[in-house]
Amino acid sequence: MWIGVVTIFPELFGEFLQTSLIGRARQSGKLEVEVRDLRDFTDDPHRVVDDEPYGGGGGMVMTAPPWLRAVRELSAGRSPSLRRVLLSPQGRRLDDAKVQELAAQPELLLLCGRYEGIDERVQQLVVDEEVSIGDYVLSGGELPAMVLIEAVSRCVPGVVQQASSVERDSFRTGLLDHPHYTRPAVVEGLPVPPVLLSGDHAAIERWRQQEALRATAEKRPDLLAAAQTCKSQDGTR
Ligand code: 4GX
């Protein structure tokens, strides 16, 4: 999978792209990430990318021309299915379904805005969809882009070594994860649930399923309700 990123802070992506799962996915060639500086697409010597808003009101707005150049230059020679995604609080909220949909694309181009946002005509001309990572305000689209890259990468075949761990991930099953334990067996007087030491794999599986259900009912009852609706809609009850 190829992911392009346009930002005025390309350095923010450095360590992130070299570390752990993403670093390995890039080294193995399963993932290619091309981060470009928006300022490289300006034509003035001061590399200015913002201006005052028409209508006043303070704050600054990113100007359209560098974005149009950047998106068009990075799109050239890419597949026609390239999805151009703007990260913004006005976008559709990112969830597991959207992550899987984006991961199924061979190519994504992520636009990371700053300030009050980007001239609206950029959206009209070169953006396919707007995605938000949640209802809170950040200072730029870079962290949202990293969130999206990390979530999407996990769905690219071969990126997560153990495919079963992706299938078991919360949300893929419709449930939250069950609790996890590792050594030592007792932590400040708290023991590991004995079933996990029993060696009875069927009993362990039942316990995990039951704990996943319990955790979901307690922490995210809305997920259980949604899973019920899905099941009754697809007719499997
Ligand atoms: N989920 N922000 C983007 C500037 C901006 C505004 C409008 C384009 C259009 C955010 C979020 C988020 C803050 C990133 C404003 N760029 N992005 N930035 N929550 O809060 O995605």
Nearest CA to ligand 1 atom 11: 89
CA distance 124 to 23: 34
| pLDDT for res 234 | 55
Nearest CA to ligand 1 atom 18: 140
The secondary element (H helix, E strand) that includes residue 55 is none
Probe ligand 1: pick from 61, 116, 138, 148, max atoms within 8 Å of CB? Answer: 138
pLDDT tens profile 3-46: 999 999 999 999 999 999 999 999 999 999 999 999 999 999 99
Question: Are 217 and 223 within 8 A, CB to CB?
Answer: no
pLDDT in tens, 112-144: 999 999 999 999 999 999 999 999 999 999 999
pLDDT digits (tens, 9 = 90+) for 99-118: 999 999 999 999 999 999 99
Q: Does 76 or 164 have the greater pLDDT score?
A: 76
Residue-wise pLDDT for 37-64, tens only, equals 999 999 999 999 999 999 999 999 999 9
Q: According to the model, what pLDDT value does residue 114 have?
A: 98
Q: Which residue lies with its CA nearest to atom 5 of ligand 1?
A: 117
Q: Which residues are catalytic?
A: 89, 116, 154, 169
Whether the per-residue pLDDT at 235 is higher than 50: the answer is no
Specify the amino acid at residue 94. L
What is the pLDDT, as a whole number, of residue 171? 80
Report in angstroms the alpha-carbon separations of 87 from 39, 78, 133.
18, 21, 8
pLDDT tens profile 179-231: 999 999 999 999 999 999 999 999 999 999 999 999 999 999 999 988 777 65
CB 68 near ligand 1, within 6 Å = no
Q: What is the pLDDT of residue 237?
A: 41
CB 4 within 8 A of CB 74: yes
